[in-house]
Amino acid sequence: MGMIKLIRESAMTLIDVWNNMIEAKGGAADIKIDQHMRSFSGDVISKACFGSDYSKGGEIFVKLRALLECASKKGFSFGIPFMKCLPTKSNREAWAPEKDLRTLILKVVKERNEVVTRRTCCKRFSGRSSEQCPDATDSFIVDNCKNIYLAGFETTALAATCCLMLLAANPEWQERVRGEVLGVCDGQAPDNDTIRKMKLLSVAINESLRLYPPVAIMSIEVFEEMKFGGVHVPKGVNIWALVLTLHTDPEVWGADSYQFNPDRFANGACKLPHLYMPFGVGPRVCLGQHLASAELKILLSLILSNFSFTLSPTYIHSPTLNLVIEPEHGVDLNVKKV
Ligand code: HEM
């Protein structure tokens, strides 16, 4: 319940900001929603995992985005051994935010409870005391915090952005989901119970994650020589699972595989459900999928019950692969109070 309250508070901050923007514009405002979604998911992850908020973690998120942009520019040189140690232009661009990030994250950790965190992490994972390996402990903490910030921030924000874009482009679905949300919540704020009852919202989110999976490619390293189908795969090779290709294959999803049709999840239209993997599969499946799902349902149900929206004429549809799939020019919505 604590987590739901925390998510609701972060979502209400966004609702207040949008209300003020709409009022200032006399009843309807064009809003580029991407940064608003990032502030929301950044706020939740900062509060839930680090006890701070988006304004405190703000600098960390700016550096993380810079790092993500550098990584996506590097593209395929990623997997080449030692490449990341060479002083190439793109590597130098990545080293600066990397260094700042380390300092910022260690500052947040120190503000929390340095002694407990350092001792616990160091003993549990390396078997040595933090005094014996201070640098390794810092790196361990920084890497894990970076993972959580990145995993829980950009992905959730993108999922919310794409779902709102699809609901704006499909007004009949927007109406159906809004009707369900208003009926289920009956004037109350969404909570654990009510979000479980929002079946149409769930299938709309599933369908959005099918068409725009934030993690469109998953890389899996082969630890031991193996046969994959008829192919011999040597140890150390990275196999890429093309999630977006699997999610849109007409043989699996039918002739309308590129259409937004959330009903396909209600009717069990997927012939091979294990090929739907927005959160990954197997032992390394996303640790935050239930948190992400609660965040999306609470945020979207509050937006739908407060506002109606259409795609703004300035919106240009251009999904781009930058490690994650994101709208190249952002998503512009025209938003009104309902
Ligand atoms: C819609 C939002 C999200 C999507 C689409 C998503 C997707 C994914 C995917 C595809 C993986 C890789 C799974 C694999 O390798 O098989 C992953 C891993 C992970 N995710 Fe998420 N994620 C989301 C939100 C979150 C949130 C909110 C957190 C919060 C902490 C989180 C934490 C993690 C962590 C820690 C891992 C690594 C798990 C491991 O390696 O054992 N994710 N996520």
Domain spans in the chain, listed from the N-terminal domain onward = 2-337
Give CA–CA dist 96/220, Å, rounded.
28
pLDDT, mean of residues 25-39 = 96
**What is this model's ipTM?**
0.98
CA of 176 relative to ligand 1 center, distance in Å:
29
192, pLDDT greater than 90? yes
Average pLDDT, rounded, for the chain: 85
CATH class of 2-337: mainly alpha
269, pLDDT greater than 70? no
Ligand 1, atom 27: closest residue by C-alpha: 152
Do residues 277 and 242 lie in contact, with contact meaning Cβ atoms separated by under 8 Å? no
Higher-scoring residue by pLDDT: 112, 139:
139
pLDDT, mean of residues 297-303 = 98
- pLDDT, residue 134, reads 65
- pLDDT, residue 277, reads 94
Place of tokens 């300035």: 314
Higher-scoring residue by pLDDT: 175, 57:
175
What's the pLDDT tens digit per position in 149-176?
778 888 999 999 999 999 999 999 999 9
Higher-scoring residue by pLDDT: 287, 48:
287
pLDDT, mean of residues 7-36 = 97
Place of tokens 């590097």: 74
Q: Give the phi and the psi of residue 281 in degrees, each rounded to 5.
A: -140, 165
Helix axes 2-24, 34-50, angle to 10 degrees: 150
Choose the weakest-confidence range: 42-46, 100-104, 219-223, 235-239. Answer: 100-104
Could you tell me which residues come within 8 angstroms of residue 2 by beta carbon, excluding any fewer than 6 positions away?
A: none
Q: Give the phi and the psi of residue 237 in degrees, each rounded to 5.
A: -75, 145
CA of 173 relative to ligand 1 center, distance in Å:
27
Q: Ligand 1 pocket: which residues have CB below 6 Å?
A: 147-148, 151-152, 155-156, 159, 214-215, 218, 278-282, 284-288, 291-292
